[in-house]
């Protein structure tokens, strides 16, 4: 028996309902500066500490933009690559200043245009752009990270060569999907059940629909499969 992807989405949303706090709209300037501070691998604790130091040292983003580089670098040094990140933060603040110290206008852009604009800001990883648009601007885009890509590939929805961009566009083209909720549900599923090394297929709420279900889950083999 074949099933729709909609069934899979429904099961995931029911199994992993989001914490309302995680759905709250995030300040885009704070979020983007935290992504810049994160760089390739800074921990959440370090990012928060660097951000706190930065916002304690300067009374406003305008003051930070006009400060000498060494002062910003000093404030964020805990996050590493302080001068490189200072440079990216200043370029970003200059961009915000040029738009009247607000990014609200982005929410009125077509998603594709907004994606290209954010991709042009140095220091923001391109895979984080959709996250920023979804969680700061409520735009109908679907963020994907390596963990979500792993789950989607295992489920067999788009095949083993599916890129993050392909997965984003696939879910953005399905009407009526709550993007943020599905993103959070897939994140939880990837962290708690469909782990990289040892997926817990016996505990998986979507095992019945999965192409990569463990062979030990014999009773599910050959029953239901996802239809695109
Ligand atoms: S059945 Fe196993 S491999 Fe498939 S999604 Fe669930 S945990 Fe992952």
Confidence at residue 45, expressed as pLDDT on a 0 to 100 scale: 94
Residues linked to residue 3 through DSSP beta bridges, in sequence order? 226
In contact, 167 and 149? CB cutoff 8 Å:
yes
Residue 180's nearest CA partner among 7, 24, 4, 10 is: 24
Give me the mean pLDDT over the 32-41 stretch.
90
pLDDT tops 70 at residue 54: yes
Atom of ligand 1 nearest to the CA of 201: 2
CA–centroid distance, 76 to ligand 1, in Å, is 40
| pLDDT tens for each residue of 118-157 | 999 999 988 899 999 999 999 999 999 999 999 999 998 8
> Does the CB atom of residue 8 touch ligand 1 within 6 A?
no
The mean pLDDT of the chain is 91
d(CA 67, CA 162): 44
Can you tell me the mean pLDDT for 18-46? 92
pLDDT band at 222 (very low <50, low <70, confident <90, very high): low
199: confidence class by pLDDT, cuts 50, 70, 90: very high
Instruction: Give the predicted TM-score (pTM) of the model.
Output: 0.91
SS3 38: helix
- Domain ranges in the chain are 2-19+143-227, 26-137
pLDDT band for position 6 (cuts 50, 70, 90): confident
pLDDT of 219: 55
Residue in this structure with the two tokens 């990140």, named with its chain if needed: 85
pLDDT at 148: 96
- Residue 12 Cα, ligand 1 centroid: separation in angstroms? 12
**DSSP readout, 51-89?**
HHHHHHH-SSHHHHHHS-HHHHHHHHGGGS-HHHHHHHH
The pLDDT tens digits for 170-195 are 999 998 899 999 999 999 999 999 99
Can you tell me which atom of ligand 1 is nearest the CA of 207? Answer: 1
Q: How far is the CA of 23 from the centre of ligand 1 (A)?
A: 25
pLDDT in tens, 93-111: 999 999 999 999 999 999 9
**What is the model's pLDDT at position 2?**
46
Residue written as token pair 């708690």:
192
* CATH 1.10.3720.10, domain 2-19+143-227, yes or no: no
Own/partner pairs, 89-93, CB within 8 angstroms, 24+ separation: 89/33, 89/36, 89/37, 89/54, 89/64, 89/123, 90/65, 91/121, 91/122, 91/123, 92/32, 92/33, 92/36, 92/121, 92/122, 92/123, 93/61, 93/64, 93/65
More confident residue, 228 or 80: 80
CA–CA dist 60, 76 (Å, integer):
16
SS (H, E, C) 173-209: CCCCCCHHHHHHHHHHHHHHCCCCCCCCHHHCCCHHH
Helix axes 164-172, 179-192, angle to 10 degrees: 140
Select from 1.10.340.30, 3.40.50.2000, 3.10.450.50, 2.10.109.10 the CATH code of 26-137: 1.10.340.30
CB contact at 8 A, 111 and 130: no
Q: Which of the listed residues 193, 196, 197, 211 should we mutate to test ligand 1's pocket, taking the one with most ligand atoms within 8 A of CB?
A: 193
Q: How confident is the model at residue 1 (pLDDT cuts 50, 70, 90)?
A: very low
Q: How far is the CA of 140 from the centre of ligand 1 (A)?
A: 27
10, 226 contact by CB (below 8 A): no
Distance CA 30, CA 84 (A): 18
């Amino acid at each position: 028996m074949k099933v729709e992807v909609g069934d899979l989405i429904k099961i995931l949303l029911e199994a992993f309902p989001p914490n309302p706090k995680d759905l709250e709209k995030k300040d885009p300037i704070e979020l983007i500066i935290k992504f810049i501070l994160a760089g390739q691998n800074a921990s959440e604790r370090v990012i928060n500490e660097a951000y706190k130091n930065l916002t304690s040292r300067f009374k406003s983003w305008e003051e930070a933009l006009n400060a000498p580089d060494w002062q910003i670098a000093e404030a964020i040094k805990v996050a590493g690559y302080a001068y490189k990140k200072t440079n990216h933060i200043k370029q970003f603040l200059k961009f915000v200043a040029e738009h009247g110290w607000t990014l609200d206008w982005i929410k009125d852009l077509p998603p594709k245009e907004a994606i290209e604009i954010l991709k042009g800001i140095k220091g923001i990883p391109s895979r984080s752009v959709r996250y920023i648009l979804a969680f700061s601007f409520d735009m109908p885009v679907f963020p994907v990270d390596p963990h979500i890509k792993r789950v989607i590939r295992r489920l067999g929805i788009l095949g083993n060569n599916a890129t993050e961009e392909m997965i984003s566009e696939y879910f953005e083209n399905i009407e009526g999907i709550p993007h943020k909720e599905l993103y959070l549900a897939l994140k939880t599923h990837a962290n708690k059940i469909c782990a990289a090394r040892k997926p817990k297929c016996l505990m998986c709420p979507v095992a019945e629909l999965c192409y990569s279900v463990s062979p030990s889950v014999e009773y599910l083999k050959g029953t239901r499969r996802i239809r695109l």
